């Protein structure tokens, strides 16, 4: 009987996850307008870069990097990128609003100007898509009230307590409920972004992008499941986090960046190494000019190679690996360098089901 009830719960969870509704053209636009937002204090790099890179690959929408205030967008790894627009400029150029807004996890998730702007975008008919704990931003804007949602496993209890008007689902990669889409931990950005490509441009285009990045599936299914949840607090993970944070000094390491660097590979590599707590990742380029990523983001390097202050130790980004598989390679290297428990802890932080 217990197994039967668990099976019903499992089926019900995915039945309620929903699908992102197909894109309906508005305002005589030839293509949808998608704003990927970030702030100048700390924006989760994979939450931001992965949807940007996937959606740009699809070539089916106008993708804009939008800062919540004037100036650079700063990532949690320290990387700084130059946005296309800030909120005020976006409103001036697109008074009818975005078709989709991508909301990463970020610091100051209750900043009033950003929350007002998000609420206004929702009122104008935009579909708001949160990545990981970007759901806290969306919840603070009021747009998740009365909806189903999800976010990183570690904030589930907080969300249930703080936002009781939202039905929070677990053990699911993403949840689509009308004009609000939310996703689980960091790595859920991949299936969510591919599902968004499918909604905009159809299954074949999504499948082509998935093949390009080395991904076979973008369903809502999460292999943590209800039988043996894979993600959650446990003593081994807590102890590994403690020892990585307090018994080891974060050593500066350089990550080379050059024109054409892939956004997804850059995000996965820098994010995972920074989360090791053993490294402070610095971005090193050949000269002082901003680096232009594969799909047009202007990146400000921290150091110039071979100059005073540049790190002596350099990270090697995985070569000849599809962007969606980079995290596997990086976690394997971290396991070799710092031990499998550290790699598993990082996979847990990414809520990444692919790493064993």
Q: Where are the beta strands (DSSP E) in the chain?
A: 33-38, 62-67, 73-74, 80-82, 85-86, 100-103, 127-130, 148-149, 167-168, 174-177, 180-183, 251-256, 279-285, 291-292, 298-300, 303-304
**Contact present, 54 and 264 (Cβ < 8 Å):** yes
Tokens for 192? Answer: 């969510």
Distance from C-alpha of 85 to C-alpha of 263, rounded to nearest angstrom: 19
Are 275 and 126 in the same domain?
no
Whether 132 and 151 have beta carbons less than 8 Å apart is answered as yes
Residue 55 within a domain = yes
Q: Is residue 3 part of a domain?
A: no
pLDDT category of residue 5 using cuts at 50, 70 and 90: very low
Position 222 in a domain? no
Q: How many domains does the chain have?
A: 2
At how many degrees (to 10) do helices 189-201 and 45-58 cross? 30
Q: Is residue 321 part of a domain?
A: yes
Residue 255 located in a structural domain? yes
320 burial type by CB count under 10 A (0-12 exposed, 13-18 middle, 19+ buried): exposed
Look at residue 304 and tell me whether its pLDDT is greater than 70.
yes
| CA gap 26, 19 in Å, rounded | 20
Place of tokens 């002082």: 288
In a domain, 1, yes or no: no
Q: Could you tell me the CA-to-CA distances from 206 to 50, 56, 194, 210, 322 in Å, in that order? A: 15, 12, 6, 6, 16
Same domain, 88 and 120: yes
Residue 223 maps to a domain: no
d(CA 26, CA 95): 13
Distance CA 263, CA 240 (A): 29
Residue 356 lies in a domain: no
Tokens of 262: 């892939």
Residues 187 and 101 in one domain: yes
Question: Does 249 lie in the same domain as 208?
Answer: no
**Which range of residues forms the domain containing residue 297?**
235-350
Taking the complete model, does pTM exceed 0.85, yes or no? yes
Write the CATH number for 98.
3.40.50.880
pLDDT digits (tens, 9 = 90+) for 77-127: 999 999 999 999 999 999 999 999 999 999 999 999 999 999 999 999 999
Q: Which residues, listed in sequence order, are joined to residue 303 by a DSSP beta bridge?
A: 284
* 161/270 Cα distance (integer angstroms): 33
- Domain check: are 239 and 189 in the same one? no
Q: Which residues contact 157 (CB under 8 A, 6 or more apart)?
A: none
Q: Is pLDDT at 8 greater than 60 in this prediction? A: no
pLDDT digits (tens, 9 = 90+) for 214-271: 999 999 988 654 434 567 666 666 667 667 766 677 888 999 999 999 999 999 999 9
Tell whether 127 and 23 lie within a shared domain. yes
């Amino acid at each position: 009987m217990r197994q039967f009830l668990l099976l019903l719960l499992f089926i019900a969870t995915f039945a309620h996850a929903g699908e992102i509704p197909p894109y309906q053209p508005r305002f005589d636009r030839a293509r949808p307008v998608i704003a990927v937002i970030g702030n100048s204090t700390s924006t989760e790099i994979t939450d931001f870069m992965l949807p940007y890179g996937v959606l740009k690959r699809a070539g089916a929408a106008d993708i804009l990097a939008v800062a919540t205030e004037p100036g650079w967008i700063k990532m949690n790894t320290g990387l700084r990128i130059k946005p296309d627009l800030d909120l005020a400029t976006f409103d001036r150029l697109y008074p009818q609003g975005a078709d989709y807004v991508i909301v990463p996890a970020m610091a100051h998730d209750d900043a009033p100007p950003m929350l007002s702007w998000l609420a206004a975008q929702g009122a104008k008919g935009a579909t708001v898509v949160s990545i990981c704990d970007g759901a806290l931003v969306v919840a603070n804007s009021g747009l998740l009230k009365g909806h189903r949602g999800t976010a990183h496993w570690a904030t589930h209890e907080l969300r249930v307590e703080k936002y009781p008007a939202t039905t929070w689902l677990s053990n699911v990669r993403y949840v689509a409920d009308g004009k609000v889409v939310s996703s689980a931990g960091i790595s859920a950005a991949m299936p969510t972004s591919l599902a968004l490509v499918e909604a905009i441009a159809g299954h074949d285009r999504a499948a082509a992008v998935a093949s390009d990045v080395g991904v076979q599936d973008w369903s809502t299914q999460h292999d943590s499941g209800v039988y043996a949840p894979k993600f959650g607090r446990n003593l081994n993970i807590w102890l590994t986090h403690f020892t990585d944070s307090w018994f080891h000094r974060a050593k500066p390491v350089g990550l080379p960046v050059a024109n054409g660097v892939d956004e997804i590979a850059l995000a996965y590599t820098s994010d995972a190494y920074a989360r090791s707590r053993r490294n402070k990742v610095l971005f090193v380029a050949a000269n002082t000019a901003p680096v232009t990523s594969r799909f047009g983001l202007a990146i400000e390097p921290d150091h110039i190679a071979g100059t005073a202050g540049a790190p002596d130790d350099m990270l090697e980004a995985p070569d000849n690996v599809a962007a969606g598989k980079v995290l596997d390679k990086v976690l394997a290297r971290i396991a070799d360098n710092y031990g499998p428990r550290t790699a598993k802890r990082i996979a847990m932080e990414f809520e990444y089901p692919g790493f064993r």
